[in-house]
């Protein structure tokens, strides 16, 4: 695969985040190219989650720049970045646990539907979003992740694995250009992992996926490109096979 010629979807330049004396992310130049699943791996505390938090705007950088589709997004709020298409899916599920599954997904759907409205009406764009359209879209996304029929159920009462799927449905409903999945398989059973792997494969046909993952089997199954982080810096990059054969990576992370 020779994608190096392609224009990058997302890139960071000298991106740094310091917490007091600790440098969680250190001068990282990260590049993500479209149309492939990109995974970030690394030991605990390597700075993976901090890096994606910087990318999606949950955390402000100490220094450095981020650009997305050629535009500098360093100064944009996290809400603006979602509107631009960078959607983050939480490591620990963060659904609205007191609300129904329908409300959870509808919340995400309606923003996307509103953004698609052209022009303005007297009452503003919100009046142009109909509940019937929302309903239709909610069913579509729930079906896509394999959760059809749970609309009326309170999200907090779903089994953990299903909450993760609901989280994915909410992210898809936001209309992402880049979907960031932070340890999606953590805490899931074997069968659920297999199911989710297939789902991510399916999603990646239409959406760019950035995956943070501990489970190496999942990474090597899914990823087209892997970035290895250690101590806040990028240690190595390449195809899964290249990474597997990289001595530095083996020493720091893969163990033997």
Q: Kindly indicate which of the ranges 40-48, 98-106, 208-216, 246-254 contains the residues binding another protein, using the contact rule CB under 8 A.
A: 98-106
Footprint on residues 180-209 left by another protein (CB under 8 A): none
Q: Are the beta carbons of 216 and 197 closer than 8 angstroms?
A: no
DSSP letters of 16-57?
Answer: EEEETTEEEEEEE--EE-SSSEEEEE-STTSSHHHHHHHHHT
Residue reference for tokens 């970030």: 40
Residue reference for tokens 């190496």: 216
- 161 CB neighbour count, 10 Å cutoff: 18
Size of site (CB under 8 A) for another protein: 31
77 binds another protein (CB under 8 A): yes
**Which residue in the set 119, 152, 206, 255 belongs to the binding site for another protein (CB under 8 A)?**
152
**Which residue in the set 13, 67, 96, 254 belongs to the binding site for another protein (CB under 8 A)?**
96
Distances (CA, A) of 239 to 27, 94, 223, 225: 23, 32, 8, 5
106 binds another protein (CB under 8 A): yes
Q: Kindly indicate which of the ranges 1-9, 109-117, 208-216, 218-226 contains the residues binding another protein, using the contact rule CB under 8 A.
A: 109-117
116 binds another protein (CB under 8 A): no
Q: Are the beta carbons of 41 and 226 closer than 8 angstroms?
A: yes
Q: Are the beta carbons of 146 and 161 closer than 8 angstroms?
A: no
* Surface-to-core class of residue 146, CB atoms within 10 Å of its CB (0-12 exposed, 13-18 middle, 19+ buried): middle
Residues 6+ apart with CB under 8 A from 98: 154, 155, 156
Footprint on residues 9-28 left by another protein (CB under 8 A): none
91 binds another protein (CB under 8 A): no
**Which residue in the set 30, 33, 68, 88 belongs to the binding site for another protein (CB under 8 A)?**
88
157 binds another protein (CB under 8 A): no
Nearer to another protein (CB atom), residue 23 or residue 76: 76
Q: Kindly indicate which of the ranges 13-21, 39-47, 95-103, 234-242 contains the residues binding another protein, using the contact rule CB under 8 A.
A: 95-103
Contacts to another protein by CB under 8 A? 56, 58, 77-80, 82-83, 88, 94, 96-99, 102-103, 106-108, 110-111, 114, 126, 129, 131, 134-135, 151-152, 170, 174
């Amino acid at each position: 695969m020779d994608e190096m010629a392609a224009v990058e979807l997302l890139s960071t330049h000298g991106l740094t985040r310091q917490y007091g004396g600790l440098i969680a992310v250190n001068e990282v130049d990260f590049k993500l190219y479209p149309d492939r699943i990109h995974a970030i791996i690394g030991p605990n505390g390597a700075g993976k989650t901090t890096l994606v938090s910087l990318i999606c705007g949950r955390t402000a950088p100490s220094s450095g720049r981020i650009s997305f589709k050629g535009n500098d997004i360093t100064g944009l709020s996290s809400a603006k970045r979602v509107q631009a298409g960078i959607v983050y899916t939480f490591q620990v599920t963060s659904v609205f646990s007191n609300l129904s599954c329908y409300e959870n997904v509808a919340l995400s759907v309606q923003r996307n539907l509103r953004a698609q409205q052209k022009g303005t009406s007297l009452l503003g764009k919100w009046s142009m979003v109909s509940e019937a359209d929302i309903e239709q879209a909610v069913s579509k996304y729930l079906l896509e992740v394999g959760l059809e029929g749970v609309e009326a159920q309170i999200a907090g009462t779903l089994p953990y694995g299903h909450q993760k799927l609901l989280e994915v449905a909410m992210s898809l409903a936001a209309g992402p250009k880049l979907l960031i999945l932070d340890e999606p398989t953590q805490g899931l059973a074997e069968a659920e992992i297999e199911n989710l792997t297939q789902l991510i494969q399916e999603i990646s046909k239409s959406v760019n996926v950035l995956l943070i993952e501990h489970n190496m089997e999942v990474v090597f199954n899914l990823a087209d490109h892997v970035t290895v982080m250690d101590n806040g810096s990028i240690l190595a990059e390449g195809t899964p096979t290249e990474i597997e054969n990289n001595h530095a990576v083996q020493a720091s992370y893969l163990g033997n």
